[in-house]
Amino acid sequence: MLRVTVLLMITLCGKVLADTETCEEGQIKGLCDCNRYSQCLNGLWQREEDTPSGKKYADICRNCTEEDNKGGCSEHREKVVCNGASLNNDDSTGGDVEMCPCECEFKEQIEFWKNKPPKELDDIIESKIIEMKKELQVNLSQLTSTKIKKISAPDSRMSASMTGYVGVVFIVLVLGFIVILDFPTLVLQVQRLFRSFKAK
């Protein structure tokens, strides 16, 4: 029993010492066929964490060889160290990042603008500004804000309908009252008009 305890203590101490060795900031190390890794923070290896989305360490660090991708998470195998790998990027290559092929259109534009004399550049820029203004110009008569100024918006509320009816009744009553007051005078004027025609 004592031998087993001593053996366990030696194993644990060996693991702690292994993880306290100095390292370069940003390095990570792990077993290629496992979904855990250790990260170098403040010059020391920190305890193992799960890899993002449960990926294998080989998906993060491309330093892993075909031989390293065997054996699962066996702690007896040597861990592979990877410099500068991104833990959030699927395209990490462990140091040398393989970039996408670049089209030279942007470079050609830079060369075009760099080799033009200032006067010619001013003329080109001015013409570009005029083109952009034409493209961005809008027809004010077609804007919704212009159209709704001439359109009455429908209102289905009972209070709106009642207000309209009251207004119509009020106008009719006022005009009708004025006509009724002048009605006798209007009759007299019509009678006089007929008499004058008969006299002639």
- For residue 92, what pLDDT is reported? 42
The domain in which residue 63 lies consists of 10-82
**Amino acid identity, position 38:** S
- For residue 166, what pLDDT is reported? 95
Which residue, 48, 55, 80, is CA-closest to 67? 80
- For residue 5, what pLDDT is reported? 54
pLDDT digit string (tens) for 30-40?
888 888 888 88
Q: Are residues 68 and 35 in the same domain?
A: yes
pLDDT band per the 50, 70, 90 thresholds, residue 175: very high
Q: Is residue 198 part of a domain?
A: no
- For residue 93, what pLDDT is reported? 41
> What backbone torsions phi and psi does residue 172 show, to the nearest 5 degrees?
-60, -45
Q: Is residue 38 part of a domain?
A: yes
pTM of the predicted protein model? 0.33
Is 54 in contact with 60 (CB distance < 8 Å)? no
Q: Is residue 152 part of a domain?
A: no
- For residue 198, what pLDDT is reported? 78
Q: Are residues 53 and 109 in the same domain?
A: no
Q: Is residue 122 part of a domain?
A: yes
Q: Are residues 116 and 62 in the same domain?
A: no
> What backbone torsions phi and psi does residue 87 show, to the nearest 5 degrees?
-75, -10
- The domain boundary, picked from 91, 116, 136, lies at 136
C-alpha distances out from residue 11 to 5, 41, 44, Å: 10, 24, 19
Domain count, the chain: 2
Min mean pLDDT across 84-88, 108-112, 159-163 is at 84-88
Q: Is residue 35 part of a domain?
A: yes
pLDDT digit string (tens) for 128-152?
999 999 999 888 888 888 888 888 7
